[in-house]
Amino acid sequence: MDAATVVETWSGVRKWFWNPALWLPPNTTWEMLLDRTDGVYYPDFYDLWIPFPIALGLLTLRFLWERFVAAPIGRRWQISEALPRRALPNETLETAFRRHRKVLPAHHVVVGLAKQIDWSERQIERWWRRRRVQGKPSELKRFRETSWRFMFYVLAFWLGLYVLWDKPWLWDTKHFWYAYPMQPMTSDLYWYYMLEMSFYWSLVFSLFMDVKRKDFVENVIHHIVTLSLMVVSWSGNMTRIGTLVMCTHDAVDYILELAKLLKYLKWHKVCDALFVLFTVVWFLTRILFYPFRIIRSALFEGHVIIGCFTNIYYMYNGLLLVLQVLHIIWFYMILRMAYNFVTKGSNEKDTRSESETATNSEDEFVSYKPVVGHQSNNVSNNNITPCLTTSPPTQRSGHTGSNSHSPNASDRSNGRLKRTAKSK
């Protein structure tokens, strides 16, 4: 295939893709939107290159923020920089770990593994916990990343609210479609769009460098769908509905990030109160307002006011619905958290967030072991990890009563006898 054929093929693809019949209502052409003679500006596809340098600038600003602002604050509040301990290499346990997909198996499986490698059940549990959090980042790193996201989301939400406050479509969604697509782009809406798009591109660029969340796949899908919505809405001049979609999402994100920050700072009561607020705001914005105001307008008002169905109508509404499916999945996770909050009296962790069980304190919980050389008569504070007393072992292992998980005197005595016999 020669160069001329490649150029001709590419030209044909571009002509098909930018066919006005695909993007615009009848009797509307791209030339009408690109006309600048009257001083009115309409969104241009080539403006979509602008977010890339801004995204690089945001990444630089993020680096400076995390290193020179967030990190000193975290150290001032004594947020741990320690990494989780690595598990001892063990081929048998590694095979079981992969087979059970990191989840601690049932008790009878643990007993079988203990007999197979001549370990105690408690050692198996300890290895499993350490192996699960192996390679996880420190709490300070998570604090730094969360602080950056909080700063942006709170800025983006209030900026969006300020920009949209005097716009009629904030109050009446029919204004999404009046005079479409000949809707001029003002400078405040322009830069609001560019800033939001730049931030999401920066999230994509750093996706594989940031703390990997439990909902990593959902986040990748979310970023792809969000950027696709921005690109499609900008290219087809559906920016009015696009701005309200962005502001609606930012309304809840900064509350979640603030709750995480307070959790790292050990302000648990305030964190619990923010979790309740976060749940309520999520329900109001993403389960009620987004589908029943924005999606409803896109599905049932747009084609009536415009007078026809454009092809881009199906693509854009499909992306809006995919985003709503993600909202429902995440809301299910939030309801699980709320159930734990009500039944157990505390908000244990954010299931949308990264695997925050990777703290040393939780790992140390199951690491009860007499110090070698001091196991005779003194089971003192030096011989027991400090975090052991924070919670009974039976609550963490899921067993009750007297069992092999309890660190009683006979277990320690049997362990010493085994070590003595082996040494002989």
Pair 146, 215 in one domain: yes
Checking if the pLDDT of 332 tops 80, the result is yes
Please give the pLDDT value at position 143. Answer: 94
Q: Which residue has the higher pLDDT, 236 or 307?
A: 236
Q: Which residue has the higher pLDDT, 217 or 184?
A: 184
Pair 71, 145 in one domain: yes
Q: How many helices (H) and strands (E) does the chain have?
A: 19, 0
Give the 3-state secondary structure of residue 420: helix
Please give the pLDDT value at position 230. Answer: 94
Pair 125, 151 in one domain: no
The answer as to whether 360 is a domain residue is no
Q: What is the CATH number of the domain that holds 128?
A: 1.10.10
Checking if the pLDDT of 52 tops 70, the result is yes
Give the 3-state secondary structure of residue 209: coil
Summary mean pLDDT of the chain: 80
- pLDDT above 90 covers what percent of the chain? 43
Checking if the pLDDT of 373 tops 60, the result is no
The answer as to whether 363 is a domain residue is no
**Residues facing residue 213 across a β-bridge:** 354
DSSP secondary structure string, 16-30?
A: HHT-HHHHS-TT--H
Pair 70, 93 in one domain: no
Closest CA to 397 of 354, 422, 365: 365
- Cite the DSSP H helix spans in 206-310: 216-235, 239-264, 268-282, 296, 302-306
Number of domains in the chain: 3
Please give the pLDDT value at position 213. Answer: 66
Please give the pLDDT value at position 313. Answer: 83
Pair 421, 331 in one domain: no
Pair 251, 208 in one domain: yes
The answer as to whether 421 is a domain residue is yes
Place of tokens 């159930």: 339
Pair 212, 117 in one domain: no
Checking if the pLDDT of 399 tops 60, the result is no
Checking if the pLDDT of 159 tops 70, the result is yes
392 prior amide bond cis, ω within 30: no
Note whether 255 and 279 are within 8 A (CB). no
Residue 26: band (very low, low, confident or very high) from pLDDT cuts 50, 70, 90: confident
Please give the pLDDT value at position 312. Answer: 83
Section 184-209 average pLDDT: 92
Pair 145, 290 in one domain: yes
pLDDT in tens, 338-353: 888 778 655 444 444 4
Looking from the CA of 384 toward its CB, the CA atoms found within 13 Å total 12
Please give the pLDDT value at position 8. Answer: 83
- Written as one letter, the residue type at 139 is E
For 420, residues 6+ apart whose C-beta sits below 8 A from its C-beta are none
Section 127-147 average pLDDT: 87
- Structure tokens belonging to residue 163: 């920009």
Pair 152, 241 in one domain: yes
Section 183-203 average pLDDT: 94
Please give the pLDDT value at position 322. Answer: 92
Looking from the CA of 253 toward its CB, the CA atoms found within 13 Å total 19
The answer as to whether 276 is a domain residue is yes
Pair 68, 168 in one domain: yes
The answer as to whether 56 is a domain residue is yes
Q: Is the C-alpha dihedral spanning 288, 292, 295, 297 positive or negative?
A: negative
Closest CA to 45 of 190, 180, 232, 312: 232
Q: Which residue has the higher pLDDT, 218 or 128?
A: 128
Structural domain for 54, as ranges: 45-75+137-344
The answer as to whether 259 is a domain residue is yes
The answer as to whether 199 is a domain residue is yes
Q: Which residue has the higher pLDDT, 421 or 201?
A: 201
Pair 98, 158 in one domain: no
Pair 119, 189 in one domain: no
Checking if the pLDDT of 77 tops 80, the result is yes
